[in-house]
Structure 1
Amino acid sequence: MLPLVALVGRPNVGKSTLFNALTRSRDALVHDQPGVTRDRHYGVCRPEGQRAFAVVDTGGIAGESEHLVEGLLGATARQARAAAAEADLVLFIVDGREGASALDDEILAWLRKTARPTLLVINKTDGIDTQAALNDFARYGFSEAVAVSSAHRQGIDELIDEVIGRLPDEGASTELDDDPTRIRIAFIGRPNVGKSTLVNRLLGEERMIASDVPGTTRDSVAIDMERDGRLYRLIDTAGLRRKSRVDEAVEKFSIIKTLHAIEQCQVAVIMLDAGEGVTDQDASVLGYALDAGRALVVAVNKWDGQSDYQRQQAEALLSRKLAFVNWAEAIRISAKHGSGLGELFKAIHRAHASATHEFSTSEVTKAMEIAYETNPPPVVRGHVAKLRYAHPAASNPPTFVVHGNRLRTLSDTYKRYLENFFRKRFKLVGTPIRFVFKEGANPYEGKKNVLSEKQIAKKRRLIRHVKRGK
């Protein structure tokens, strides 16, 4: 396992920017507004020619005051402390422009109690006297400190060298891997429907901050997990609201990260609130997953808190408003108490298997021939479309290319018939199906048949003969 390095400090000192600089990515959401990062975010630093190590970005610790123990600030601080407790090395990030503060003093006192190896990193030193910044923090008693500017990548190489020199040979990190057998699952939905609570229940720990406050999760966070011998990557995403209600720049970036997570996953689990039913915003979130062509499972959360009458009303609403995705399985769960999770994973497996199934050209063409013979296309302006053969083009979602003539005359109704026929024949559940129709080129298109003089004379004789016969 790779050694783990935790980035710890007060809000808005540049921890997420440093995380992106170390991992050479844009995985962490960065903004000038304090408190953007809340959950732990893991990545890997792979310097060229040197050993790699894992990095965990944390939210800013806003102090030890009693009024901060509860709520989002307290939960964020607990996440940062958990990251520091499991790390092999802690990077204590401070702001070189603002200098030492009372909050930095409190965080340092707590770090000393943890007895974890700690390195002082003075960030935002571009354009200022670096030595003066080092002198300002000399009272903290660190034998060595590293001055960097993570936004401009100044001093990053020196920091990496210093970190590698302090790390043990083996660590206890659980960095993300690129194992293709992992099922990538993104949990999507409106704010406050229980996405983070479900992820925590699956992991068996408070890995994500779960709160009644809508919009608690701001960044998309990926966590690897093993369950019953199978490997998964769980992606907790920020809640998606209507565009008219999105004002903050941070929330706009959160939406971008969520849409990116939908594109990267294999199965999207959209979570609904059983007490609120299916809203127009839920349908919009479903639209994002359908546009990306992801396999889909509907998880109706908070089912245990509903009465029999409320459940009947919810069932009727689900069947009516989710009719356009009736191929997606709807599972009733309780993220808080863990009920229905077994059925949820079975549905995820079925959706993943359908979305990634590999088809042969022969079986696809055979299915198309049977569908065509069972229900031929209707006559359009005296012509009937001819479906000749088909072949698979891609997976996730399954895509089929159909070749033939006059395919532009096929109606949407007939295309839906083909989709339903293929879905039933191949037992595809939980995944959209796409068809690409390609017409064969007419070899005589654009060519004019020019008659010879002999043919013209013959044509005239035939015309005269016909006229005499009349």
Structure 2
Amino acid sequence: MADTRFKPVVALVGRTNVGKSTLFNRLTRSRAALVANISGLTRDRHYGEGRVGEHPYIVVDTGGFEPVATRGILVEMARQTAQAIAESDVVIFLVDGREGINAHDHEIARLLRKSGQRVLLAVNKTEGMRNHADLAQFHELGLGEPHPISAAHGDGVATLAEEALAALLAERAAQVAESSVDPDATDAGEGGAPDHRIKLAIAGRPNVGKSTLINTLVGEDRVIAYDLPGTTRDAIEIEFERGDRRYTLIDTAGLRRRGKVFETVEKFSVIKTLQAIEAANVVLLLIDAQEGISDQDAHIAGFITETGRALVVGLNKWDAVNQEQREWVQREYDRKLRFLSFARVLNLSALKGQGVGPVLKAVDAAHAAAFAKLSTPKLTRTLLAAVEQQQPPRKGIFRPKMRYAHQGGQNPPRIIIHGNALDAVPDSYRRYLEGQFREAFKLAGTPLSVEFKSSHNPYLKDES
């Protein structure tokens, strides 16, 4: 069984115009980046998901690396690449097979050797090169055997990805075997029921108050909190109990000493935030009320909903804004984060402990909603009542006919509706039904998937 929660990180590094973005698109099969163009990440790294067999992994596409840059945008791009290297599990160093080696390649190779990371050397644009002697020069970089590929045509790319992950997956398999734990059952007990321990990820921009909130929830200074953006690249897990409930808090901004190699890396790790969200049952998205709703907040919120995680939103530093600012923040929230209408929004001050009491109650409710068991009879009654109140619109001479509904999954809940001509149901009516189900089952705090499945019409001739 594949370990679906283990996602190695593969960083693509190289100078400009060697084909990194083309390779990124090839590895991710041209899927849209998970996070792109986040405010504050200059010449942004792009994140996508690749897959080798049944094993998923995260791919990071970096900007052109100019390691000796001393000013301007190139310095920021180098910093971005340095962080991608530091937080990756394996680096694919891409060079241009047509142009050959230049001074920048040597400098990047020197930094990669110094980093101590696993590195695979990939020579791109080698289509049509029959003479392997052309690859001999790349041994000068001191990074092992060159791997000839063509990112544009796909030649050698699958083999490259398999080799990049082979050692990591072998190590992971050994760890799982040693612990005798099913990696896909970390959140489930007998019969697939969720474990009593709730994994709660605290996500948000740097300096929004994540560590301060954790210290307030736990009741002690378990995570160092400074009035500066967080400097860790690793998520920190803290276990605690409140009443009869057990929690694992995942802080994505706790402080640790900087790495010895890359001392100028960015202090905010997108990768660790994505991994923390995927590892959690519930996410608390913390937003700075003083700063308002940023595009970065919206990007993080979008990823939370894409992964189907239950969600609670906290507007922190609420005590520090006046009434006019509060109204402005609420308008901005409604405008930029309207797709989070299912989530409970709490106004709080993590520093002063104001409004923190309801946080865990909202988390408990969101977790319960995500794992709710929805009975088929009640789902069907709710569906038929909703249709009687408002029928789906006709498409041509036909009106979609909905017969019954049942639950197709949990975390998030999936409701599957059966009937005839359901392909014609518009998204607006889907949202209407979603609201009816939410109200009937009290499903606040979790995304909800409503799917349609049309029955086969026996009167239609089989033209196959």
Decide which of 410, 416, 428 is 2:431's aligned counterpart: 416
Per-residue CA distance 1:258-299 (angstroms, 9 max, x = gap): 212212211110000010111111111100110011111110
**Which residue matches 1:183?**
198
Conservation of the 8 A alpha-carbon contact between 1:186 and 1:235: yes
1:388-403 matches, within 5 Å, as 388-403=403-418
Please tell me whether the aligned partners of residues 29 and 253 of structure 1 are also in contact (alpha carbons under 8 angstroms). Answer: no
Aligned CA distance change for structure 1 residues 288 and 229 (closer, same or farther; 3 Å)? same
The 5 A counterparts of 1:133-172 are: none
* Within-5 A mapping of 1:17-416: 180-238=195-253, 254-416=269-431
Corresponding position of 1:427: 442
- Aligned residues of 2:211 and 2:253 also touching (Cα < 8 A): no
Unaligned runs of 5+ in 1: 1-24, 32-97, 99-150, 154-175, 240-246, 450-470
Question: How many angstroms does 1:184 deviate by?
Answer: 1.2
The secondary structure found in structure 2 opposite 1:277 is coil
**Does the C-alpha gap of structure 1 residues 288 and 448 become closer, same or farther in structure 2, counting only changes over 3 Å?**
closer
- Counterpart residue type for residue 285 of structure 2: I
Task: Give the residue type in structure 1 aligned to 2:296.
Answer: Q
1:440 aligns to what?
A: 455
Measured in 2, the distance between the counterparts of 1:354 and 1:249 equals 42
Output the amino acid matched with 1:267: V
| SS of residue matched to 1:312 | helix
One-letter amino acid of the structure 1 residue matched with residue 371 of structure 2: T
Q: CA deviation at 1:310?
A: 2.4
In 2, the alpha carbon distance for the partners of 1:398 and 1:344 equals: 22
Structure 1 residues 377, 252: closer, same or farther in 2, change over 3 A? farther
In terms of mean alpha carbon deviation, does 177-186 or 272-281 score higher?
A: 177-186
The answer to whether the Cα contact below 8 Å between 1:238 and 1:255 also exists between their aligned partners in 2 is no
Shift of 1:249: 11
Whether the aligned pair in 2 keeps the contact of 1:197 and 1:335 (CA below 8 Å) is yes
How far did 1:321 drift?
3.1
SS at match of 1:216: coil
Letter in 1 for 2:291: E
Shift in Å, 1:29: 10
Change (3 A) 1:252 1:440: farther
Q: Residue 177 of structure 2 aligns with which residue?
A: none
Report the Cα offset of residue 446 of structure 1: 4.8
- Take 1:410 and 1:348, find their aligned partners in 2: how far apart are those partners? 33
Does structure 2 retain, via aligned residues, the 8 Å contact 1:29–1:254?
no
Amino acid corresponding to residue 277 of structure 1 in structure 2: G
The 1:26/1:419 distance shift into structure 2, 3 A limit, reads closer
Contact 1:210-1:216 within 8 A present in 2 as well: no
Alignment-derived partner of residue 93 in structure 1: none
| Alignment: residue pair count | 279
Structure-1-length-normalised TM-score: 0.54
Q: 1:211 to 1:388 in 2, by over 3 A?
A: same
Q: Give the superposition deviation at 1:228.
A: 2.2
Deviation at 1:225, TM superposition (A): 0.7
SS at match of 1:338: coil
Determine if contact 1:190/1:281 at 8 Å carries over to the other structure. Answer: yes
The 3-state SS of whatever aligns with 1:188 is: strand
CA distance in 2, matches of 1:27, 1:207: 27
Distance 1:178 1:393 in 2: 17
2:343 partner amino acid: A
User: What is the CA–CA distance in structure 2 between the aligned matches of 1:253 and 1:419, rounded to whole Å?
Assistant: 35
CA 217–388 in structure 1, closer or farther in 2 if over 3 Å, else same: same
Check the 8 A contact 2:414/2:450 in 1, yes or no.
yes
Aligned equivalents of 2:197, 2:462: Cα separation in 1:
55
